[in-house]
Amino acid sequence: MPTRYDASSVEPRWADEWVRRGLFHAEVPDDPDLAYCIVIPPPNVTGRLHVGHALGRTLEDVLIRRARMEGLRALWVPGMDHAGIATQVVVERELRREGIDRRELGRDAFVERVWEWKERYGGEIIGQLQRMGCSCDWDRQRFTMDDGLAHAVRVAFVRWYEQGLIYRGERLVNWCPTDQTGLSDSEVEHEEVDGELVTFRYPLSDGSGHVDVATTRVETMLGDTGIAVHPDDDRYSSLVGETVRHPFDDRELPIVADAAVDASFATGAVKVTPAHDPTDFEIAQRTGLPLLNILDAEARINANAPEEFYGLGRYDARQAVREELEKLGLMVREERPYRHAVGHCYRCHSEIEPWMSGLQWFVAVDGLKGPALEAARDGRITFSPARWQRAYVSWLEGLRDWNISRQLWWGHRIPAWYCPDGHVTVAVEDPSVCEECGATELEQDPDVLDTWFSSQLWPFSTLGWPEDTPELRAFYPNRVLVTGYEILYLWVARMIMSGMSLIGDIPFRDVVIHGIVRDARGRKMSKSLGNVIDPIEMIDRYGADALRFSLARLATEGQQDISFAEDAVEGARNFSNKIWNAARLVLQVFEGGTPELPADDRLKAPQRWLLARHQRCVREVNEALDRFEFAPAAQALYRFFWSEFCDWGLEMEKERLRSDDEAERRDAADVLAWILERTLRLLHPVMPFVTEEIWQRFGIDDTIVTAPWPRSIEEHERLGAETEASWPVVEEYVTTIRRIRSQYAIAPTATLGVRFVDGASDRPLHDAVTGGFASEAARLAGTSAPSSEQPGPGAPGDIRFVVGGETVVLSIGGAIDVERERERLTSRLRAVEADLDRSRGKLANQGFREKAPEDVVLAEKHKVDRFEHEAASIREQLAELG
C-alpha cells in the first residue's frame, strides 16, 4: 500500500469502474419487499452542482448504498428537469449575443435551438454527480421532456381534464412583467418593502357625502369598479346600494357588502379592483362587479384608463394618480414609508402584478387535496423531521387552484386545441378535427405547462407510467424522498397529490427534509457575498469522500440549516488519511482473505473491549440511519474509528502485532483485520472511494459496493461488557499520566514508578491496570507495573492524582532533576506574580479605569485572570514536587 492516500487518483478511477461494471443497475425483483427506490430530485438541465445538491445527494447515496449492501434491489433513478424559464432564458441570452431575437427566429426554430443547447451543454451536472460517487442507475436516466415523460404529461393532463380537475378559466394570475409569464403562488416570494398607504376620497354620486378608501397601489384606482364594506359595519350600512363617482372619468361605482372586507383596516371601506387583486376578484365574482383591466403585459397603463395616464409605467402612474387626486382635493392622508409585504418574482425579483392574462389552464386542487392530506395524517407518509408534517398539512389546506399555463416556448405544450368556433379539444395524440364540430383548422394552445406539472409525475413517470411496467409495479411507491425544504410545497406536495390521484397510492413512504447549507457565519451563500463554496473545488482539493463525510456529519438531528466551511472538508480529508494509515498498519500483518475472529477464550481484554465498542458503533449507525439522522451516524463512525480503533485499539495491539509468539501475533492481526474490514463496509455508504480502495486489498471479492452490510452481533457487547465498564478509568489513568509527562517534559523512554494508595475494597482501576489491561496501560503510560508497596512520607517528585476515587502516586523524581525543576518553576512563578501585580495596579488606578477605552480595561482584567490561573497551577506543581 502506498504510504500516502491520493484521493485525486483513486476516486475518478473507481467512479468509472463502478459504472463500467454496471454495479448500480437495479434489476426488478420478483419479491416486491426487496425493492428500494429513491428518485433524484431532478436538477435543472442548466444546473451546475452546488453545495445544496451535494448535501442532498450524499444523504440519498448513503441510503441507497446501504440498502444495496443489505441485499435489497436498490434503484436510484437519476435525471434532469427541462426547467422551463431557466433554460429559455439561457438560450435567449445566447441568441441575443448573436443579435437574434427569439420572436424573429420563430417558435419551432427556437425550440430546436434549445434542444441543441441541451445536447451540447446541458447535463454538466450528471458528470459532477458521478464524480461525487453517486450510485444512480445511470442506464435509467430520464429527462422531464423525453418521449416517455412527454407522453405521461399528456395522459395526466387529459385524465384530469376528463375528471373535471383541469379547467380553463379567466383568472387572475401572478404576472411577472419582466419575464412576461404567469407564476404559481409558490413561485411568488413575499417580502416586506417600504411602500406607501394612501387614503383618498370617492364622492357619492348624489353629492350627499363621500367614502374614504386606503390603498398601497393607488394607480389601481383607475381600474376600480366598486366599493365594498362589511355587511355588519353600521358606519356604512345605509350606503350599500348607493354609488360613488369616479373622479377621472365619471364612472359610477356601486357600493356593495361582502364579508371578505376587514372592517378594522383603515376606513373599513375598500376600493374594489377585480382585475388587479385576487381578493377583489373574488368579491367581484360574488357581487357581480365588472372586471376592468388597466395594465398591459409590461405593467403599463393601457387604453382602458383615461388618456392622460395611458402608456405610463406602473410606478409613474402611481405618482401621476396621486398628484391628480391632490389637485382635485381628494387626497385625505399619505403614510410613507408604509411597511408591507409585496409579492416578488422568484426569478427576477420584479414586483408581481395580479393580472388577467386571457384564458389560462388551472388545476382544481380541491379535488386533489383530500387524499394527499389523509396520507400524511394517517402516517402512510412520514416526514423527517416530523415538524414538517404540520407545515405540509396547513399549506395544503390553504392551497388555491394551480395556474399551470406558462407563456413560454420551452416546455410541454398544453395538449388543448381550439377550432375557429372556439371549441376545445383536449387529447393525448394531436387531433386532426374538432371534437365538437369536426372543423379541421385547429390551433394548439400557445402556452406550455408549468415545469412542476411534469416533475410532479417524476416518482412514477420515470418508472414507465402510464404503461403498467414491471418497474412501476416493483418500485412504486418509492421508499424515501430526500429534499430541501424550499421545495416541500412546490414539488413534494404536488407529487403526493398526483400520485394519489393518478396511481391511487402514495409516491413514497418517507420524506426526509434537510436544511440549507450556509456559510460559517450562517449567511446564505451567494455570488454577491462571495461566500459560495463550490463542491467540485472541494472535491478537487480534498476528495469526494471528504466532501461527503463533512456534509453528512453536519446533517444534524432536526436537519436545521448547516453552517459549512472549508475546514470541515479538510477535517474529513484528514479522516480518510487516518483510515488509510490504520489500514496500512493492519494489512502489513494480516495476510488477506476474509478475516475470522479467534475463539472467544483466546481474546485479550483490550480485544474484547474493541469488539464491544465496534458492535456499539454498528448499532448506533443503524439506529441513526433508520431514523434518517445522518450526523449521529457519521459521528459514531468517526468516534469509533479515530479514537477507539486508532488511538486506543491499534496502540494497545501494536506490541502483540510485533510479538514473537506467532499465535498471539495472528490473533491480534485477525481481530484488527476483522474489525477494520467490517468498519470499511459500515463506512462505505458515506465514504465509498477510500473504503473500496482499501477493501480491495483484503482480496475477498470484486467490490465492496455489493458486499453485505455488517450485521449486528449482540454477543460482542456481552463479551466485552466487563472491559467496557472499567475502560473509562483506564483511559483517564493513561491520559492523566501522559499529561503529567508532557507537563514536566519527561523523556518518552523514561519509565515511571507508580503505586496505588490502598483504600476502598472495590478497586476497578487497580484491578484493570494490574489485570486485563496491565501490559497495555503500563506501555501507553510509560510506567512500570504498579507496585503494591505503600508510599512512605512523600518523596520529592511524588505526584498524587485521583481517578475514579482511587488515589495513585506517580514517581517522576527519578526522571527529572527535581531541584532544577523546582528552581525553574519558582523563577517562572516570580515573573508571573510580577506581571500580576502590574496588572492589578493598573486596574486599581481610578484614572486608568475611567479614561482607558472599555476594551482595554476588559483586556487587562482578562490578563489578571490568566496570570492568577498560571500562578495557581505553578504553585500546584511545586507542591506536587514536594
Cβ 420 to Zn ion shortest distance, Å: 7
Nearer to Zn ion, 427 or 713 (CB): 427
CB 511 within 8 A of CB 483: yes
Nearer to Zn ion, 176 or 525 (CB): 176
Nearer to Zn ion, 411 or 464 (CB): 411
Q: In whole angstroms, what is the distance from residue 405 CA to residue 445 CA?
A: 9
Q: In a 10 Å sphere around its CB, with 0-12 CB exposed, 13-18 middle and 19+ buried, how is residue 600 labelled?
A: exposed
Nearer to Zn ion, 423 or 509 (CB): 423
Nearer to Zn ion, 180 or 285 (CB): 180
If binding is defined by CB under 5 A, does position 179 make contact with Zn ion?
Answer: yes
CB 357 within 8 A of CB 407: yes
Nearer to Zn ion, 173 or 610 (CB): 173
Instruction: Give the C-alpha distances (Å, rounded to integers) separating 164 from 50, 58, 167, 412.
Output: 40, 41, 7, 20
Q: In whole angstroms, what is the distance from residue 863 CA to residue 848 CA?
A: 15
Half-sphere exposure (Cβ direction) of 785: Cα atoms closer than 13 Å: 9
Cβ 296 to Zn ion shortest distance, Å: 16
Nearer to Zn ion, 75 or 85 (CB): 85
Nearer to Zn ion, 186 or 498 (CB): 186
Report the site for Zn ion in 398-457 (rule: CB under 5 A). 419, 421, 423, 434, 436-437, 439
Nearer to Zn ion, 256 or 434 (CB): 434
Report the site for Zn ion in 331-350 (rule: CB under 5 A). 345, 347-348, 350
As separate numbers, helices (DSSP H) first and strands (DSSP E) second, the chain gives 30, 28
- At residue 508, the 3 state secondary structure works out as strand
Cβ 179 to Zn ion shortest distance, Å: 4
CB 364 within 8 A of CB 401: yes
**And the C-alpha cell for 683?**
463506512
- At residue 266, the 3 state secondary structure works out as coil
Nearer to Zn ion, 32 or 446 (CB): 446
Nearer to Zn ion, 437 or 760 (CB): 437
Candidates 106-114, 171-179, 388-396, 843-851: pick the segment binding Zn ion (CB under 5 A). 171-179
Cβ 418 to Zn ion shortest distance, Å: 8
Cβ 173 to Zn ion shortest distance, Å: 13
Cβ 426 to Zn ion shortest distance, Å: 13
The interaxial angle of helices 688-695 and 7-20, nearest 10 deg, is 80
CB 160 within 8 A of CB 48: no
Cβ 347 to Zn ion shortest distance, Å: 5
| Pairing label, strands 252-257, 73-77 | unpaired
Cβ 485 to Zn ion shortest distance, Å: 23
Cβ 529 to Zn ion shortest distance, Å: 22
Q: How far is CA 763 from the centre of its chain?
A: 49
Nearer to Zn ion, 89 or 565 (CB): 89
Per DSSP (E only), the strands in 323-436 are: 331-345, 353-363, 382-384, 402-403, 405-406, 416-418, 424-426
Out of 176, 222, 270, 555, name the contact with Zn ion by CB under 5 A.
176
Q: In whole angstroms, what is the distance from residue 645 CA to residue 651 CA?
A: 9
| Pairing label, strands 448-449, 405-406 | antiparallel
Nearer to Zn ion, 345 or 631 (CB): 345
Instruction: Give the C-alpha distances (Å, rounded to integers) separating 568 from 133, 245, 572.
Output: 19, 68, 6
Per DSSP (E only), the strands in 635-749 are: none
Going by C-alpha positions, the residue among 661, 643, 660, 659 that lies closest to residue 651 is: 643
CB 173 within 8 A of CB 359: no
Number of residues that bind Zn ion (CB under 5 A): 14
Cβ 191 to Zn ion shortest distance, Å: 14
Report the site for Zn ion in 754-773 (rule: CB under 5 A). none
Report the site for Zn ion in 658-697 (rule: CB under 5 A). none
If binding is defined by CB under 5 A, does position 178 make contact with Zn ion?
Answer: yes
Cβ 433 to Zn ion shortest distance, Å: 8
Cβ 407 to Zn ion shortest distance, Å: 12
Q: In whole angstroms, what is the distance from residue 633 CA to residue 646 CA?
A: 18
Q: How far is CA 538 from the centre of its chain?
A: 18
Report the site for Zn ion in 55-94 (rule: CB under 5 A). none
Cβ 512 to Zn ion shortest distance, Å: 31
Q: In whole angstroms, what is the distance from residue 53 CA to residue 197 CA?
A: 42
If binding is defined by CB under 5 A, does position 305 make contact with Zn ion?
Answer: no
Report the site for Zn ion in 343-382 (rule: CB under 5 A). 345, 347-348, 350
With residue 271 as reference, give the H or E element that holds it: strand 269-272
Nearer to Zn ion, 434 or 555 (CB): 434
Cβ 419 to Zn ion shortest distance, Å: 3
Cβ 358 to Zn ion shortest distance, Å: 19
Nearer to Zn ion, 176 or 769 (CB): 176
Q: In whole angstroms, what is the distance from residue 488 CA to residue 692 CA?
A: 35
CB 356 within 8 A of CB 488: no
Contact track, Zn ion, 236-275, x by CB under 5 A: ----------------------------------------
Instruction: Give the C-alpha distances (Å, rounded to integers) separating 649 from 505, 608, 668, 673, 743.
Output: 50, 10, 10, 12, 25
Contacting positions for Zn ion (CB under 5 A): 176, 178-179, 345, 347-348, 350, 419, 421, 423, 434, 436-437, 439
